Chains A and B, each alone.
Chain A
Amino acid sequence: MQCPKCRAPMHTYNRNGVQIEQCSGCRGIFLDYGELEALTRLESQWSQPAPPPPAAPQAYPPAAAPQAPAWGAPHGGHYGGHRRHKSFGHMLFSS
């Protein structure tokens, strides 16, 4: 789909099981009906059972994602799910 604001193509991402569309140009986000509620629900799940104070900073196991340039794919990339795409493998093995 096209971004309603700047007309650039929008790409779909999965955030905790919620599909959201993000514009490749202005990076605006489009939510379908019910998706905002789904995200809000997820947020409250995170904050509700006031978690016991973490013993160590390792409480959130995945280390911070490596730095990336601002022109890169939004939020660390499309990686995952698209792996077997035709051109993908070829590009890693050629100039």
Chain B
Amino acid sequence: MKNIVSIKTKISNFIINVDINLKEGINCFFGPSGAGKTSIINCIAGINKAKESKIIINNKTLEDTNKNIFVPIHKRNIGYIFQDSRLFPHLNIKNNLLYGLKLNYKKKKIFHYDEVINLLSLSHLLHRFPYNLSGGEKQRVAIGRALLCQPDLLLMDEPLASLDQDKKDELIKYIVKINEILSIPAIYVSHAISETFILANCVHFIKNGTLIYSGNRDKSINFYNKNENFIFRDSYIKGKVIKANLSEGLTKIKLGKDSLTVFSNTLHLDQNVIVKIKATDIIISTVIPDKLSSLNYLKTNIEEVVFQEGLACLILNYEKNTIKALLTKKSYTKLNIKKGMQCYAIIKALNINDVTNINLV
């Protein structure tokens, strides 16, 4: 199946110039706010008109400025889940869901009404109106409404952005569930890297209106860890739970050949997770740190040292993974650190994206 998005356009003074090949499953458009991600998907949906474009979705040409093709929005067959849900205020939930379904009744049904309602737990909301739904519930209805119009492509524009953390975790689980049965490609726009890594099959990094990198999840994690644009932020490593709910309430997570111990009672055995390590949560030691209270350290190689704003940023190599650590210049000089040296990264705290039942392979 061919899914190509090629857009060259200018919106006020902002230039967008991207060529993106969409892969199967969820394609995340990741980048900072104002990078042009939403403008790109608005072009795909036909809401924005690009100066030069070639958009092919599911082998159908939606736009080709060379051949003067521009399929209008309502004939594009694209399900769009907006950041602000945009449920129709004058219709109840049932009629909101049916709106797209009724208009596309002739199409081959990929998503059935009952199935979607079950999947998104909407049955108790059907007779209510949008104004008395919570933010998370509204987004679930918006997802259901978009699926029921039997789209060839699903667009999600930061659907979690207006939700609090609990609701975010809850909605992510629903999106993961949908992804399991989704037979169409989807684009998920986000500026939050953790949800990007949880959901993406393929990540497209977008900055200043251009595509700077495309790759599957593993490659993207590496790219993100190494990329200078994100240098002072966090590092992400894939891991697997090898021991859960030990007598002390501790959980062991295997990363490469080492394992880290965390305090958790939500993780279960054999679960795949992505571990997030903040650059400021790492202490560097040149000797084996066996007399410390911290339980977690990794043996690493110093690949690169970058100085920025009076701080030394160490780029550490741990079994093909990149971990970033921040030191003050003073401690950097004291330790006499050099490129290529071996050192131990002691991890003070880690953050685990513990979305249950996610297959990260």
Q: Do A and B come from one complex?
A: no
Q: Which positions in B face A, CB cutoff 8 Å?
A: none
Q: Which positions in A face B, CB cutoff 8 Å?
A: none
